[in-house]
Amino acid sequence: MKIIPKRVQNMFQSSDDGGGSSKAPSIAAYAALSEKATLEPFAIERRSVGANDIEIDIEYCGICHTDIHFVDNDMGVSAYPLVPGHEIIGRVSQTGSGVSGVQPGDRVAVGCLVESCRSCAPCHNHLEQLCQNGYTLTYNSPTSDPGGMTYGGYSKRIVVDKDFVLRVPKRLDPAGAAPLLCAGITTYSPLQNWGVGKGHTVGVIGLGGLGHMGVKFAHALGSKVVMITTSPEKGKDARALGADDVLLSTDETAMTKWAGQFDFLLNTIPIGHNLDPYMSLLRYDGIMCIVGAVTEMNGFQPGPLMAGRKSIVGSLIGGIKETQDMLDFCGKHNITSDVEVISIQEVNTAYDRMLKSDVKYRFVIDLSTLS
């Protein structure tokens, strides 16, 4: 999932719960100090715990492809030093006086957002990811906190407003739960929004960090799930994840056979590509949702769209309420991401491997290895 930041000032000011203003201790982290730099040890400061804040000792943080885009400044908005990470799982270490229902030792999570304006129509409808006045990203957003920019989860500790902290069901493996905060909600949200469920045939295009979660969710929702891929070798993996069938998009005969059979296509391909071959797969009133690529697509013919009253839509993560709903759904169905857990010292190697698609299907950093 790629998130385009809005360079706006943070909408909140934190107050020190104890009334003091002493400088917070340094916190170990890994940061990129310049564009396209390798990540290296770096000390940061967090704000003091305010009345409505929760301090979290981070246990695990997933690696998202967006992290690489920000480190490399691919969108031209990165500020350095940059501490990535927005798939955070940890234990509560301290709470402010205005926090209830959470206590030290509880396992919690933080996703892509740590604040929004809270006053616009999307925010009032629990759609903070669509905030019209500018949300605050978990990292690389302007803030009044120490350092002037938010720092992410490649660190030992984080302080977050209570309204942006999520509960983690006890049965979920914490490492496998980390990518749910981005890859999970990115695929869960559109399936929920467009009512995907029993009686529907769903195609998941691309089997990677997003795609494998799309297969798991669509299967758990009761849909017939077809993995659509260019790689025959991914068929076995797709079936193990819950796919009922596999369609090779390079097989013209198979594509013709499946034409007009899909109610919903979840398109997770991370780069620009030709949409036309996939549009023929949709039945009338069918929907293709793009959650992967944010770059320009390679041409598009509107005829099939018009002839079948079909739709192309997009979706961006989910709001805080929906993300909690997703975590609860995962707890009920015991859904986590398939992950490879690494030490923080392996993060640069993991970035290189991600660029080669050499992971099944997400890397997760064990922050106990950071000191």
Q: What is the pLDDT of residues 27-47, one digit of tens each?
A: 999 999 999 999 999 999 999
Q: What is the CATH number of domain 27-182+318-369?
A: 3.90.180.10
- The domain locations on the chain are 27-182+318-369, 185-314
Q: Residue 144, exposed/middle/buried by CB under 10 A (0-12, 13-18, 19+)? A: exposed
pLDDT of residue 16: 43
Q: What Cα–Cα distance (Å) separates residue 11 from each residue in 136, 180, 359? A: 8, 26, 37
Residues 264, 237: Cα–Cα separation, whole Å: 21
Angle (CA) 257-234-278 rounded to 5° is: 40
Give the model confidence (pLDDT) of 278-328 as tens digits: 999 999 999 999 998 877 888 778 888 898 999 999 999 999 999 999 999
pLDDT of residue 303: 87
In the predicted structure, residue 12 carries a pLDDT above the cut 70: no
285: left (phi over 0), alpha (psi -120 to 50) or beta: left
Question: Does pTM surpass 0.85?
Answer: yes
- What 3-state class would DSSP assign to 37? coil
In the predicted structure, residue 165 carries a pLDDT above the cut 90: yes
Give the model confidence (pLDDT) of 167-215 as tens digits: 999 999 999 999 999 999 999 999 999 999 999 999 999 999 999 999 9
Domain 185-314 belongs to what architecture?
Answer: 3-Layer(aba) Sandwich (3.40)
Confidence band for 23, pLDDT divided at 50, 70 and 90:
low
In the predicted structure, residue 19 carries a pLDDT above the cut 70: no
pLDDT of residue 326: 98
